[in-house]
Every structure is written in C-alpha cells, then in structure tokens.
Amino acid sequence: MQAAKVSDTPVEFVVQYLLKAKEIAENNANVPTELRDNLQKALDIACGLDGYLEQMSSQESEPLAELYRKSISHDWNKVHEDGKTLFRLPVTCITGQVEGQVLKMLVHMSKAKRVLEIGMFTGYGALSMAEALPENGQLIACELEPYLKDFAQPIFVKSPHGKKITVRTGPAMDTLKELASMGEQFDMVFIDADKHNYINYYKFLLDHNLLRIDGVICVDNTLFKGRVYLKDSADDFGKALQDFNQFVTNDPRVEQVIIPLRDGLTIIRRVPYTPQANTQLKSTVTYDEVFRGVQGKQVLDRLRLDGKVAYVTGAGQGIGRAFAHALGEAGAKVAIIDMDKGKAEIVAHELALKGICSMAVSADISKPEDVQKMIDEIVSKWGTIHIACNNAGINKNSASEDTSLEEWDQTFNVNLRGTFMCCQAAGHVMLKQGYGKIINTASMASLIVPHPQKQLSYNTSKAGVVKLTQTLGTEWIDRGVRVNCISPGIVDTPLIHSESLEPLVQRWLSDIPAGRLAQVTDLQAAVVYLASDASDYMTGHNLVIEGGQSLW
C-alpha cells in the first residue's frame, strides 16, 4: 500500500517513519521476521486509516469534490498580468472530504443558522457547511487574500448553496471587530487561518459575544503534525497551537475535545454561565431562575416536550394534522386519532419519516366506548398520557329556524359531548399521576357570531367548549392538570377555494384586520406552548388566534 507523498498529519508522519523502519529492516538480515511482520501490519493500519474514513463517510448531497476537480487542473496556475505565477493550487489542497463531512455534520447537529469561517482558502469547507444550513441560513467567510475569493466565487455560483455564503476579504480581525460592533452572533465558527492568531480570534469571539451560548467553535490543525505534544519540537506554529490548546483547556467558559482527524480538529462548546466557573463575577450576578432558567432550562428548552406522550383527535387532516406534527417536532410521542384509520396511518407515517414516534388509532369520539378504547390503547403502548389535544369537531350550516334536533345533536355529540368525554377519560390518567396538559380546540365563534354563514349549533357548541375548559381548568389545576383551549379564526383549506365560496371568502377577508385567512401552521406554536412546562401557570384560558377578526 502506497503512503501519502506529502507528510502533513500525525498519521502521515507515522507512515513516513514506518516506511523508513521497514527499509532499514529489509536491508538488515539480523532483523527478526516477527519484527518485519509487525512493522508491515502497523504500516497497513496507518496507511489505510484515512482512506477508510473517506470511504465510510456519507455521500455528499451534491458532488462537491467533483465540482472542485472540474474547476482546478492538477497543476493549475493563477497568473498575474505580467506573466508571473501568483499561486499554484493543486487538487490535493482541497479540504479532505472526511473533514468537509464532519463540518457539515456539526452544522446539522448544532442546528446552526449562522456560521462564521475564519480562513476560507479554496472555499471547499465553506460550501460543505453551507449545504447543511437552512435555506435562510448564512455563512460569512473571512479570507485575507482577494485572489482566493476570486477563485471560489465562480464555484459558489455553480452550487445551489453558494448563495448562502458571503466572503469578506482583508484581515480577519478587522471583520470580527465590524461584526461585533453590529451586534452579530453566530451558532458555529470554523477557524483555519494563521496559527499564531488562533488564540486572538478565540478570545475576541468569546469576549465580544460573537458566539452564542451552546454555540460551537471548530478549530483545524490543532495537533499540527504532532508538534503540539512532541517535547523536542521547536516549531513556532506548534508552540502557538500548544499555547492555544492549553488556554482553551483552562477557560471555564467552554468545554473542548480534540479529535485526531487529519491534523487535529478541536470542537469547543460555549457553556452556560455558572458561578462556580466564574467566581469573580458571582457577587455582581443575581443567579436566580430568571438568569439560569427554571430547573436550569432556558426559555426555548422549556418548550421542549421530550419524553412526553400526546394524542391528537381529528389528526388525519387539517388543524389536527398540524398539531400532531408540531407536538412531535417538539419531542413528544404522538397518537394520531381519527375516524378514518387510513388517514391516521398516513399522518403517523409522515411523523415516522421525521423520526417521530407515533401510532395510529381509529376512534369516533362521540361514542364513549371508542373514547375509552383510545385511551386504553395509548396507555397500553406508552404507559401514560401527558398531553391530550381534543381537536375533533364538525360544522353544519343552517338557519336557526331550520336547525333540526338531529343536526343539533350530531354537532353537540362531537364538539361538546365528545370533547368532554375525552377530557374526562384523559383526566383520570392525568389526575392519578398528578400531571397533565389538556388542549381543546374551540373557535372564534365562541366569541362572536361569524357571518354571513349561519351555524347556530356550531357556534353554541364551541362556546360550550370554552366554558368546559374554564371549569375543568379551575377544578383540576391544584392536582397538576392544566386545561386550556385554542380558538382559531377561519382556516384556509382547499375546500374554501371552491368557486362557489369565492364571494364568501372575500367577505371574510374584509372582516379580518390581518387581511388573510389563518394557515394551520399559524396555530402550531400555540399548541406546543400550551402542552409545555412554559405554560404551567396558565389554565382555563381561551387562546384566540384569528388575525384580529373578533375585534372588529
């Protein structure tokens, strides 16, 4: 197996020394065969490592390496107008595919939206990270040399992710000072620039809050050919990186790990403030729940539903489907309840594709036996219920003088009686465990009489849902169960866009200050809030989301 021609990493140096040792052994008849065999085994392991890591790395979503190979010949030169070579850029200078995949993975794992790169070089690393950013993500790359920007820019243009990248040329510290003055902050920073300034970049990033709490700094070349830990090394870069590694190790604001990937990749996480780590500031900080978060959780973490079990009725479509996705994205296991088992299974499959634990249950909530069976199935599978989202409902339109008892009973059996039965059945589980969140879907029609449509039974049933919610919310809160409801306005559905309803839609729009109908996604954050610990002091509340329509 052929070793790398240029020694650049600790492993490559090991290969180089093993090859020399093997050559000496082969030229010395007195060297035991066992020693020669062990040298060869060590050489095979060392030579094969980088190649194996590259082979086992996930395939890129677009062939970045190929994109770069098409842009650079193996012996490509950038030439001044006077004919002198400005710089030579062989293909081998491209950031390793493995390292590019690591950076991409870190962007995904940290859920970064804003990335700062100090030292862009060819732009391969920048484009790898940009791939993992969301569509509205941004990567700012600092590069000292303008010619490298000129080289990378055409490649960025060819990539669908290149639009996320902004290149700033000039000294990186000048860019950092400008970003700090603008109050910018980043989720992730990648440093691969002049080694002597690593420590200065690092200090500036943390001292000026350019990195958010829990943000990540990745620093390349931190093993630097092994010279950071070799005692007899007199290399200036090695000494600078040794000092940098030690400084980060002693910094209480962060935690770090050095990964022996290629020439060393350090991953640094900025940790939340604690008095133990910053004793010099303890006397000036009110270290209460406002500062450290309730139970140590910052506000967005308090909205998480990890480990919780939820169900949503009427979840096969519309609002219920949106609620199920939202609760699942926040971390809950979600039971999809619908009369139509096929629709429930489709939504459960959607959640599974997003990595969300789910199950599909068929139930008609107007039937008490179905409601109890639904609860029993969920408890049997997942052990309990923490979140009950009672969303199923029907709407029948008729003038009040023409409303039949059959229509009235059908509407109330689902909208009010069914919601009550679900609250009661789930409540038995929640009251026994001393914790639960019940979220009922009411309607703007509980506050006003929507017009010009006539829907007496619907309006009255939804007003009943609000009073049911208020009553249960006050009765059960002292036993750990909060009950609230959401009142949506008119929600945009495909049915509304039929030609026959166009005049009615225009009338509705004229009554809505927001100037548009509600989207199901407008309601998702509300259900997550009411299901989370962040809403623990709220009970019996009707959360109205209707674009201001009930105010006119």
Which listed residue (198, 201, 458, 529) is catalytic? 458
Rounded to whole angstroms, the Cα distance separating 414 from 398 reads 17
DSSP for residue 437: E
Q: Which two tokens stand for residue 504?
A: 């009615």
Rounded-to-integer distance, Cα 314 and Cα 390, Å: 8
Judged by DSSP in three states, 285 sits in coil
Helices in 110-197 by DSSP H: which ranges? 124-132, 146-158, 172-181
Polymer length in residues for the chain: 552
User: What is the DSSP pairing of strand 186-191 with strand 436-441?
Assistant: unpaired
Whether the CA torsion 334, 335, 338, 342 is positive or negative: it is: positive
Contacts (Cβ under 8 Å, ≥6 apart) of 279 = none
3-state SS of 291-356 is HHCECCECCCHHHCCCCCEEEEECCCCHHHHHHHHHHHHCCCEEEEEECCHHHHHHHHHHHHHCCC
Is 435 tagged catalytic? no
3-class SS of residue 88: strand
Q: How far apart are CA 546 and CA 528, in angstroms?
A: 18
Interhelix angle 318-329/341-353, nearest 10 degrees? 30
Catalytic residues: 458
